[in-house]
Structure 1
Amino acid sequence: MDFAFNEIQTLFQNAARDFAEREVAPLVEEAEAKEEIPLQLFTKLGELGYLCPGYPEEYGGGGMGKIGECILYEELGKVSSGICSAIMVQGGLATKMIAAHGTEAQKQKYLAAACRGTKIAAYGLTEPNAGSDAANIQTKATRKDGGYIINGSKIYITNGQVCDFVTIAAVTDKSKGSKGISTIVVDADTPGFSRNKMRKLGNHSSPTSELYFDDCRVPAENLIGEEGQGFKYMLESLTGARISHSARSIGLAQAALEKTVAYAKERVQFGQPIGKNQGVSFRLARLAAEIEAARWLLYRVAWLFDQGQDCRKEAAMTKLYSAEVAVQMAEAAMRIHAGAGYLAESVVQRYYRDAILYPITEGTSEIQQVIIARELGL
C-alpha cells in the first residue's frame, strides 16, 4: 500500500500547479467578467500533453490515467472552477465514449484533436425535460440515406458555446426505451446546428449553452460504438466523470481553506486575530479534516478506476462527499470573511457561487445517494 504519488505523478503535480498559477491565474478575472473561457489554454495545455492527461500518449494524451486527471483538475480547481470545468469536459465526458468505443478513424479525427487542443469538445445529454431522468431524452436521430437526421435540443452544455464538435445522446429507436439511445458526434459546422449562450450564477469562465438540432444531417460513421448502446456508454462515462468532478471540488475547497486561514490570522478584533477564537478555529480545523478525508477518498477511487475495478458506488461516494465539503467550506469562508467576502471583487464570493453548483452537476447529491443505496442492496 502506497500513500504517496510516484515520481512521475509528483512531477506532474508540480508542473500542473505551476501552469495553473503562471498561465491560468492571470486570466481568471477577465474570463469571469467576460464570461468566456480563454481558448488559448486548450492549445497551451495540448502542446504540453496536459490537456487530456488520462488518455494514451499515442493520441496526444498524458498516459497517466484517472489519477493524472485528478491531479490536474485539483490544481486547476484551486485557481478557477469555471476554467477547470471546461478543461475537465474536454478530457472527460465529451471524449470518453470516443476513446472507449470509437473507431480508429473517430479517435484520429476527434480524440487526437481534442488531446492536442486543436478542437474543443462538448457533451450533450441534458435536455429541458431530461435531467436526472436521463433515459427520458427526446432528441431524435432518424436513419435516412446512409446517415442520421437529428432533431431536438440540449441544455446546460459546458463548452457548448465554443465547441468544434459535440458528442450527444439521441434516440434512435423510441420503442426500446433506454436501449434505443445511441451516441453520435455532431460537428459544429453541420447545417441546422445552432447554440445560445446561457448566463449562470457562478462558474462564469465556463461557457454554457443551449444547443439546437434542426434537421442536422450527419454521416453514419459519426455513430460511436453500437446503435442502442448510448445509455450504457453514458453510465460508464459518468462513473469516471464523477471522480474527476471530485478533484475540482477538493481544489476549490482547499483554496477557500487557505484563503480563510490566512484571513483568520490577519483580521484582528477585540485585540487578537479572529483565528484565536474557537468559534473560528474549531470550524476551520473540522473543515481541514473533512477536506483531507475527501482527498484520500478521491485518490483511492481514482486508483480503483485505474485498476479497472468496478467502482460505481465509490465514484458516487467521492462525488457526493467532496461536493458537500466544498459547499461547506465555501460557506464557512463567506461567514468568516463576513463583509469583506461579500464584496464583488473578493475571490471568496466566487468560491461560494461556484461551489453551490457542485451538488447538482454530474448527478445531484440525491442521485449519488440513490446509487450508493442500490449498490448496498437497499
Structure 2
Amino acid sequence: MVSFQPTEDEQAFVDLARDFAKERIRPLARECEQEGRVHPELVKKIEEVGFASLELPESWGGLEMPLISQVQILEALSSGDLGVVQGLPGAGDAASLFRFIPDHPLLASYKEAGQKGTWPTVAFLHAAEGEIPQGVTITSADETGYVLNGTSQPVRLAAFADYLLVSAVDSQGETLLLWLDRQKGNRWQAEAGDYRLGLLASGCARIRFDEEKISSDQVLAKGDEAKDLLAKALRRIQVLEASKEIGLMDAAVSYVTEYTAQRKAFGQEIAKFQGVSFTLAGMAIETQAMRHLVLRAAADIDGDKGEVAASSTLGRVHRALRFVSDSGVQLLGGHGYVQEFPVEKWMRDAEAQTLLYGREGELLIQRGEQLLDRKVPIEV
C-alpha cells in the first residue's frame, strides 16, 4: 500500500504554510487583485520564509525540495488564495527547468541576481512537447540565430517579467529552448487585456515579438536535449499546478461547509437539506480524490518511475476544480456573486487557471499523443 503520510519536517512546513495562508494571504487577496500584483510586503514575507525557492536548485541557494513535499506546501499556500500564489514574482514555472541545468552558463547572471536577495521574474512561454507557442513563429535568420514574430496566448507573470524562457520549434523542425534577457537588449511587449476574469494579480499578459532577433548563444538547448528537458520540466509544472488547484478546492469546501452550517432556512441549518449536503459531500470527495491523485503523480516523479501521466492528472484536477468552485457559488445563493464573499473570486480564478494551463480535452489529447508516439503501455 502506498502511503502519503508526511514526515515530521514536511508536516511542520505544511502547517507553517497553512497558517501563513490564513493569516497573511487571505486577508490581502482582494487588495492584491485590485492592485493587479501581489503586495510587496507579502512578497517579502514569503521570500523570508523560503516559500519562493522550493523548486530552485540547492546550488543556487534554493531548497530543491522533492515534488511530494512541494505539492503539500503549495496546496496549503493556495488555500489562502490561488491568485496571490500565481502572482508571486520570481522564477515561476521556469524553476522546474532550472532544476535540471543549474550550471548552464547562460543562467549565471540570473543565478547571481537571485542570490543577492530577490529572484528576478521569469515568464515561461511554452507549448507541449516543444510545439510552437500559439500565435508565435520562429524562423532561422541564418547560421547565427533566429527571429521571433507574433503574439502569444496569455502567459503568467509576463506583465512584469525581466526574463523570458521560450520553448519552440524552428522552421527546420528542431526543438529549441531560448533565454531572453531585457538587460542584454532583448525586446518584447507585454500586452495586458480583458481576456480573463480571474487571477488578476498574476501578471497575465500576451507576449508580442516584432522581428526580435535571437542569437545562437541564447539557446539553452536544442534538438533531443531540449525535448527531454522540456518534457521533464512540464511534468513537474503540471503536477505543481494541480496541487495549487487543490488548495483552492480545499478552501472552497471549508468555507462553504461553515457557511451552510451557520445559515438557516425553514428552522434548520441549510447544510442539513439533502440537496445541499449531497453537493457538499461531492465537493469534499472530489477534493480528497484529487489530492491523492496528485500525491501519487508527485511520488512517481520523485521515484523516477519513467512515464508519468502528469497531463491527464492536471486535466482531471481541472474538471474537479470547476465543479467545486461552481458548486461553492451555487450553495451561497445570491451571496455567491457578491464580492464580500470569496467564492465568486475563487470561481473566476479557477476558470482563468484552466485557460492558462490547458482545458481538460487539450491535456488528454497531449497524453494520448504521448502514448501513441512513445508506444507506452496503457496503465489500467
TM-score by length of 1: 0.86
Are 2:184 and 1:186 equivalent residues in the alignment?
no
Q: How far does the alpha carbon of each residue in 1:324-376 deviate from its partner, in whole angstroms, 9 at most, with x for none? A: 11211111111110001111332111111111234443232113323455356
Aligned residue number for residue 59 of structure 1 = 60
2:93 corresponds to which letter in structure 1? L
Q: 1:280 to 1:75 in 2, by over 3 A?
A: same
Task: Classify the secondary structure of the residue corresponding to 2:231.
Answer: helix
1:175 corresponds to which letter in structure 2? Q
Aligned residue number for residue 110 of structure 2 = 110
Aligned residue number for residue 100 of structure 1 = 100
Aligned pair partner of 1:175 in 172, 177, 181: 172
Give 1:256 shift.
0.5
Q: 1:194 to 1:356 in 2, by over 3 A?
A: closer
Aligned residue number for residue 290 of structure 2 = 294
Instruction: Provide the C-alpha distance between the structure 2 equivalents of 1:13 and 1:223, rounded to a whole number of angstroms.
Output: 37
Instruction: Provide the C-alpha distance between the structure 1 equivalents of 2:112 and 2:291, rounded to a whole number of angstroms.
Output: 30
Aligned partners of 1:42 and 1:117 also within 8 Å: no
1:76 corresponds to which letter in structure 2? L
Aligned pair partner of 1:202 in 191, 198, 204: 198
**The 10-residue stretch of structure 1 (237-246 or 138-147) with the greater mean CA deviation from structure 2:** 138-147
Q: 1:56 to 1:232 in 2, by over 3 A?
A: closer
Give 1:119 shift.
0.4
Instruction: Provide the C-alpha distance between the structure 1 equivalents of 2:162 and 2:364, rounded to a whole number of angstroms.
Output: 35
Matches within 5 A, 1:297-316: 297-313=293-309, 315-316=310-311
Q: Which runs of 5+ in 2 are unaligned?
A: none
Matches within 5 A, 1:144-293: 146=144, 148-172=146-170, 174-176=171-173, 180-189=174-183, 190-199=185-194, 200-226=196-222, 229-293=225-289
Give 1:219 shift.
4.7
Q: 1:29 to 1:265 in 2, by over 3 A?
A: same
Q: 1:316 to 1:217 in 2, by over 3 A?
A: closer
Superposed CA RMSD in Å reads 2.8
Q: 1:340 to 1:123 in 2, by over 3 A?
A: same
Instruction: Provide the C-alpha distance between the structure 2 equivalents of 1:370 and 1:99, rounded to a whole number of angstroms.
Output: 27
Q: 1:223 to 1:133 in 2, by over 3 A?
A: closer
Q: How far does the alpha carbon of each residue in 1:100-129 deviate from its partner, in whole angstroms, 9 at most, with x for none? A: 246433343235645853301111126xxx
Task: Classify the secondary structure of the residue corresponding to 1:183.
Answer: strand
Give 1:252 shift.
0.6
Q: 1:23 to 1:220 in 2, by over 3 A?
A: farther
Identity in percent: 23
**The 10-residue stretch of structure 1 (338-347 or 192-201) with the greater mean CA deviation from structure 2:** 192-201
Q: 1:23 to 1:44 in 2, by over 3 A?
A: same
Instruction: Provide the C-alpha distance between the structure 2 equivalents of 1:261 and 1:366, rounded to a whole number of angstroms.
Output: 31
**The 10-residue stretch of structure 1 (341-350 or 134-143) with the greater mean CA deviation from structure 2:** 134-143
**The 10-residue stretch of structure 1 (43-52 or 8-17) with the greater mean CA deviation from structure 2:** 43-52
Task: Classify the secondary structure of the residue corresponding to 2:100.
Answer: helix
Q: How far does the alpha carbon of each residue in 1:210-244 deviate from its partner, in whole angstroms, 9 at most, with x for none? A: 11223434554321123575454333322111101
Task: Classify the secondary structure of the residue corresponding to 1:201.
Answer: coil
Give 1:25 shift.
2.5
Aligned residue number for residue 23 of structure 1 = 24
2:303 corresponds to which letter in structure 1? Q
Give 1:209 shift.
0.9
Task: Classify the secondary structure of the residue corresponding to 1:208.
Answer: coil
Task: Classify the secondary structure of the residue corresponding to 1:51.
Answer: helix
Aligned residues: 368
Q: 1:319 to 1:44 in 2, by over 3 A?
A: same
Q: 1:119 to 1:359 in 2, by over 3 A?
A: closer
Aligned partners of 1:139 and 1:150 also within 8 Å: yes
Are 2:9 and 1:8 equivalent residues in the alignment?
yes
Instruction: Provide the C-alpha distance between the structure 2 equivalents of 1:55 and 1:112, rounded to a whole number of angstroms.
Output: 13
Task: Classify the secondary structure of the residue corresponding to 1:123.
Answer: strand
Aligned partners of 2:37 and 2:87 also within 8 Å: no
Instruction: Provide the C-alpha distance between the structure 2 equivalents of 1:255 and 1:44, rounded to a whole number of angstroms.
Output: 22
Aligned partners of 1:183 and 1:227 also within 8 Å: no
Aligned partners of 1:98 and 1:111 also within 8 Å: no
Task: Classify the secondary structure of the residue corresponding to 1:195.
Answer: strand
Task: Classify the secondary structure of the residue corresponding to 1:62.
Answer: coil
Instruction: Provide the C-alpha distance between the structure 2 equivalents of 1:362 and 1:41, rounded to a whole number of angstroms.
Output: 25
Instruction: Provide the C-alpha distance between the structure 1 equivalents of 2:279 and 2:7, rounded to a whole number of angstroms.
Output: 33
Instruction: Provide the C-alpha distance between the structure 2 equivalents of 1:12 and 1:41, rounded to a whole number of angstroms.
Output: 18
Aligned partners of 2:130 and 2:227 also within 8 Å: no
Instruction: Provide the C-alpha distance between the structure 2 equivalents of 1:223 and 1:39, rounded to a whole number of angstroms.
Output: 33
Instruction: Provide the C-alpha distance between the structure 2 equivalents of 1:133 and 1:366, rounded to a whole number of angstroms.
Output: 19
**The 10-residue stretch of structure 1 (248-257 or 363-372) with the greater mean CA deviation from structure 2:** 363-372
Q: Which runs of 5+ in 1 are unaligned?
A: none
TM-score by length of 2: 0.86
